[in-house]
Chains A and B, each alone.
Chain A
Amino acid sequence: MTSPGDGTPVKPPPSFSPGVARNVSKSRYPDESETTTSLDAELAEAHTGSSPTSPLPAATAELPIRSASPQSRSGRSSTPQLARSSIGSPFDGRSEGSEDIRSLIIRAFSPTVAVYASDDTDALVRNKGFKGGFWDLIRPFGETISGKVVIRDSIGSSRAWEDYGVRFVNLKGYGRDAGWDSSLGQMEEVLEKQLNSGEFALGGPISAKDVLGVPATTPLCKLYLRQLLSSTSATPHETFKHPVASVIAISSRNTAPLETLRQLYAESSTGEARLPDWIQQDYLRYYVLIHDEERDDITESTKLYDQMKRHFGLHCHLLRLRSSQCVVTDDDSTQVPQCEWLSPREHLSGVGEAETLVDLGTDGTPYLFDSDATAIKSFVRELMVQSVIPFMENRVAVWNDQVASRRRGISGRLAAVSRRWPFGSSSRSGIGSSGGNSGNYDSVQNFYAPESAEATLRKMADFAFMLRDWKLASSTYDMIRSDFGNDKAWKYHAGAHEMCAVSMLLNPLAMSAKIKLESVDQMFETACYSYLTRCSDAPHALRSLTLAVELLKSRGGSATETAARWAMRVMDFGLVESIGQILFMERVAACYASKTPATGAKWGARRRKAGMWSVLAADQWLKAGKPSLASSCLEEAERLYADDLEADGVFPMPEMQTFVDNLRHAVKVEYLEARGFNGQNETPTEDPIGTEEISEKLDKRSHRRSLIGLPAQLDAGNLKLNPGPTNAEEAPNDDFERA
């Protein structure tokens, strides 16, 4: 028998102990404005790595909400728990969360740099404990480049980014992996794994984050998005995964350094490591000499480095590393950062390491000497800032000048028209490289030759996209998207439409143009049709629709409803499996919840819809056997509904009320069962919480029966959990999400 005092009492799931949370918000409630700001601040703290600065969209996004806030606040004065709402409240729901998602999406489209290291280099690095060689060593450091990265766009204005990154890939075996195939199933597996390992964290003591209402599911959604965006392998129709540059590395142990470098170069351009035909071959080569601090002489290496510079130009770097393995107990050891962008397959193979990292913080993950980490960081920074980004800027400028402007000009348009309706064959010859219909498209192998105008334009648009010049990117995609349709290059067609819409949505300056939303919608529609029906490429379709959902949601206003509609489409198409389906239900709820009421009016929000989707998601989580997630969904629903169900919190509709009651009961029973408690055991520990909570919320809703009422029942002390009404509702297998 446990008394309330001793041992560790089992914490009820969030939805059963609203008292805990309500204390927080209640005490702060009187001073409203302060509450929101302080909560915001705390939330921002709680979200590590959130809100990377992109000041312009943040400012524009926040303006209307701030002005609307006093009214909406006072309008719901009877519902103190709204202060800790996460997706429900407009403040954190948009200003913090959406910026986070936007940054995630932007970072997903980082330039790719291939790594090709000599055998002696890989041996040296393997000595340090990195099994995958040099690539494995530098890969985590490419995720975020330290310091600001300044990029000039096509009109010459420059902008600094703090969250720029680069994706390192191994040139050995590049482009030969199986590709998508089973990656959707793998994603589901990863989620499942994450959920099972995350159960402990969720079921454990409620952390400050939980109390503040950051739903435990948002990390899951983010994980899903990250998985989705990182599971693409290189395809001909888009060049994000094509290497922009390649790093050729040798070490100071090499006996014939210059010859090895030449040989590596030859292998990468013509030999065995040659890229597939659909990738442009003239990417930047960057030469790195790795100096072994412990065995070799630095003067020798410097001499060699000077020689390298003379032979290969300026794109060289001398990286000084220690060759011995670092262990935790060493003085200046630092942990190697975690890779954020692991594809589902890597997740599945390496998830064990991540677990040990989380649990113990010691084993499984490699360590590096502080000096090594600093050296690699500065190497990555120099590589990007001094070589790769200028190279890309230069390329964009050149292509823009030579290829795009020819198309944009009046003669180019005429040529495009005459190509479509051949009035006379004489005009065809005048436009140079871009021939007639499907002239450049290889319909047997389904790709454009990388030198053709279409492929070059697509590459230029992708480069602009990766350099975050969305205006140029969207106009370029816009220019070429119909060409692909004429050539019946459907995958290219879909990709151009998708990225055109995405870059339009990302472009902060186009935020206000409302008419464009329709065209954006149309483009997603086309992209999705081309992907799904013409190419039966479900993963890309899922990616484009997910991007549509997240970006439209982050725009706010009426776009959120479109976002919700796309999320429903995703479920309708059957692109996602069980867990994904539930996640998308949550996204629908989040989309609706982020719709804010019109200024000064009570109407215009979509709280009831959001609430409904949350309840449905809770139902599904329960069926999937995840009661803790179900309970957080329910809690979310309570918050959303609290506004509309006046005073007593009872649904006006009897059947809804029964359903919600039963669901709540079932969630509670399952949750306690999952924790290994039965009803008898749990009552005494829960008792103090219950009483305390009742005294807190005495005011006028003490008889509140449904939404927050369960602790009040518990407070009777001798409640026996009666599974009677539960069974009726656990069984139903409704197919309401089937259309």
Chain B
Amino acid sequence: MSYYFTILSPTDTPIFNIAFGTSKGGGDGIARFRFPDTAQYMNQFIIHSSLDILEEAQWTNGGMYLKHIDTYPPAAAYISAFLTPSGARFLLLHQPPQLPTSGSSSVLGGSSLLGSSGSTTRASSSSVAANPTSPQTEEAVRQFMNEVYESYVKTAMSPFYKQGMEIRSPVFRTKITAAGKKWL
């Protein structure tokens, strides 16, 4: 499972981006998207296009956490969203690993780090990551989003931060990474 997390300002400008992989079930926390490295812009395209759905969903759903709102079937990319009262949007793109090809490549990549890679892939297929629409995943994403929200509020309270500015704080980045490691 690979994740691409973006915080968008109310004017759709990205103020924070991070890509990471799952750490559950023996994952090494490195994102492996299905697009080749030259096509990483696809993540942004998908996120951007899901704003259409987000704009619709935010008026029909009362909560801040909008759960899974959109899918991009050709790449099996799923988008979950979280709204903040100030109008910033948290968007998380998650993509389950490609079973036949990139699954084997992750085994190859992971074998140097982990002894029993075969058992870890089996474990990861039954974990949160395997089914992006399951209630467990929704819950995990919710926990992640809440934690990110907390950090975001703290960062936004900084006297040196103006709304809409890009978040460059390394502390914030570490916190997000930690939250991703913890929940996703």
- Which residues from chain A sit less than 8 Å from chain B, CB to CB? 565, 568-569, 571-572, 598, 601-609, 611-612, 615-616, 644, 646, 651-656, 658-659, 731-739
Contacts and interface: CB of A to CB of B under 8 A. Distances in A.
B139 interface: no
Contacts of A651: 48
B177 to A, nearest CB: 21
B38 A734 contact: yes
B75 A736 contact: yes
B160 interface: no
A608 B36 contact: no
9 contacts: A568-B73, A607-B52, A652-B14, A653-B14, A656-B45, A736-B74, A737-B74, A738-B75, A739-B75
Contact of A739 (B14, B43, B74): B74
A651 B48 CA distance: 9
Nearest to A734: B39
B73 A612 contact: no
Contacts of B104: none
A734 B48 contact: no
A603 B48 CA distance: 14
A654 B52 CA distance: 19
Contact of B38 (A602, A603, A612, A732): A732
Contact size range, B:
20 to 34
Interface centre among A569, A608, A615, A644 (most CB of B within 10 A): A608
Nearest to A598: B56
Contact of A608 (B39, B41, B43, B52): B52
A598 B43 CA distance: 27
Interface in B9-33: 11-14
A326 to B, nearest CB: 54
A656 B50 CA distance: 14
Contacts of A612: 45-46, 48-49
A412 B11 CA distance: 63
B161 interface: no
Contacts of A658: 41
Contacts of B45: 612, 615-616, 656, 659
Nearest to B9: A652
B59 A572 contact: no
A655 B52 contact: no
Contact of A571 (B34, B56, B74, B76): B74
Contacts of A739: 73-76
A425 B42 CA distance: 63
Contacts of A569: 73
A659 B52 CA distance: 21
A498 to B, nearest CB: 21
Contacts of A608: 48-52
Contacts of B74: 568, 571-572, 736-739
A733 B55 CA distance: 32
B30 to A, nearest CB: 19
A572 B55 CA distance: 28
Interface in B110-137: none
A602 B51 CA distance: 12
Contacts of B52: 603, 605-609
Nearest to B46: A612
Given A603-B56, A606-B52, A659 B76 contact: no
Secondary structure at chain B's binding surface: helix, strand, loop or mixed?
helix
A53 B77 CA distance: 42
B49 A652 contact: no
A611 B49 contact: yes
Given A601-B59, A603-B59, A734-B35, 14 more contacts: A608-B50, A644-B12, A653-B47, A656-B44, A656-B45, A731-B38, A732-B38, A734-B38, A734-B39, A736-B34, A736-B39, A736-B42, A738-B75, A739-B76
Given A565-B73, A568-B73, A603-B55, A655 B49 contact: no
B55 A736 contact: no
Contacts of A734: 35-36, 38-39, 42
Contacts of B56: 598, 603-604
B39 A732 contact: yes
Contacts of B48: 608, 612, 651-653, 656
A616 B46 CA distance: 11
Contacts of A568: 73-74
Nearest to A561: B53
B40 interface: yes
A738 B39 CA distance: 13
Contacts of B38: 731-734
Given A612-B49, A733-B36, A655 B41 contact: yes
Nearest to A646: B11
Nearest to A602: B55
A342 to B, nearest CB: 32
Nearest to B15: A652
Contacts of A615: 45
Closest 6 A/B residue pairs (Cβ):
A734-B39, A732-B38, A603-B55, A653-B44, A655-B41, A659-B41
A603 B60 CA distance: 11
Nearest to A641: B48
Contacts of A652: 8, 11-14, 48
Contacts of B42: 734, 736
Contacts of A598: 56
Nearest to B17: A653
A736 B13 contact: no
A53 to B, nearest CB: 34
B41 A656 contact: yes
A646 B44 CA distance: 18
Contacts of A654: 14
A654 B13 CA distance: 9
